[in-house]
Amino acid sequence: MTTQYYTATSIDGFIADADHSLEWLFQLDDPEATGMQDEYPRFIADVGALAMGSTTYRWLADHTGFLDDPTQWEYTLPTWVFSSRDLPVPDGLDIRVVSGDVRPVHAAMVEAAAGKNVWLVGGGELVGQFHDAGLLDEVVLGVASVFLGSGAPLLPRRITAPSLELVETRQYGGAFVSLRYRVRRS
């Protein structure tokens, strides 16, 4: 079981633009043209639970419409949404809105994942809390060939020692490179 931050980022380290949008990501090369069409299915097959922040959740709600039509929610996995405010959750979906310390929530996620990985979808501040608690094992980045100039930072933390260890790189067409880092423990 691994707790992973798997996300796409711009070269300059932003996961969303200044308007909290991911539209920049969907304007890039077709996944089949880049060879990335198999990357996500391979990744998600090993995931048993996921967590995201409220901004990510709201963006998904606004862009998929799952609050009005729960069939548009793409995940069949238990999902924890960290938020300091109440959020709407459609009936029938395994979505739990939580707040506070990530440690007890992570323990519940690990139990629900039943030996599979825990995916930290984002945002960066939430992932930083998992890192600060010593719960982040791996960072997997799809680095897109764009500069956003500003926006939501990839991981708003200073991580210098112990450093991350690069364990894998892959190039996908001309638009993406995948970088996999193991989080070293002190």
- Give 115 or 185, the one with higher predicted confidence: 115
Confidence of residue 148 (pLDDT cuts 50, 70, 90): very high
Q: What pLDDT, on a 0 to 100 scale, did the predictor assign at position 33?
A: 53
pLDDT top residue among 91 and 163: 91
Write phi, then psi, for 95 (nearest 5 degrees).
Answer: -120, 125
pLDDT at 32: 57
- Round the average pLDDT of the chain to a whole number and report it: 91
- Convert the pLDDT of each residue in 10-61 to its tens digit: 999 999 999 988 888 877 756 555 556 677 889 999 999 999 999 999 999 9
Structure-block tokens of residue 30: 């077709």
Q: Compute the distance between CA of residue 143 and CA of residue 175 in angstroms, rounded to an integer.
A: 8
Mean pLDDT value across residues 154-163: 85
| Superfamily of the domain at 3-183 | Dihydrofolate Reductase, subunit A (3.40.430.10)
Share above pLDDT 90 across residues of the chain, in percent, rounded to a whole number: 77
With vertex at residue 146, the alpha carbon angle to CA 140 and CA 152, rounded to the nearest 5 degrees, is 65
| Kind of pairing between the strands at 176-183 and 164-172 | antiparallel
Ordered by start, the domain boundaries in the chain are 3-183
Residue 23 CA: distances (Å) to CA of 9, 27, 110, 172: 12, 7, 31, 19
CA atoms within 13 A on the CB side of 60: 22
pTM of the model: 0.92
User: Residues 98-102: what's their mean pLDDT?
Assistant: 97
Rounded alpha-carbon distances, angstroms, from residue 119 to 24, 80, 94, 140 = 22, 10, 15, 10
Q: Given this model, what pLDDT does residue 37 score?
A: 66
- Tokens 């998600």 map to which residue? 44
**Cα 124 from Cα 153, distance rounded (Å):** 6
- Mean pLDDT confidence for 182-186: 88
Q: What was the pLDDT predicted at 184?
A: 92
Name the H helices within 121-166: 124-132
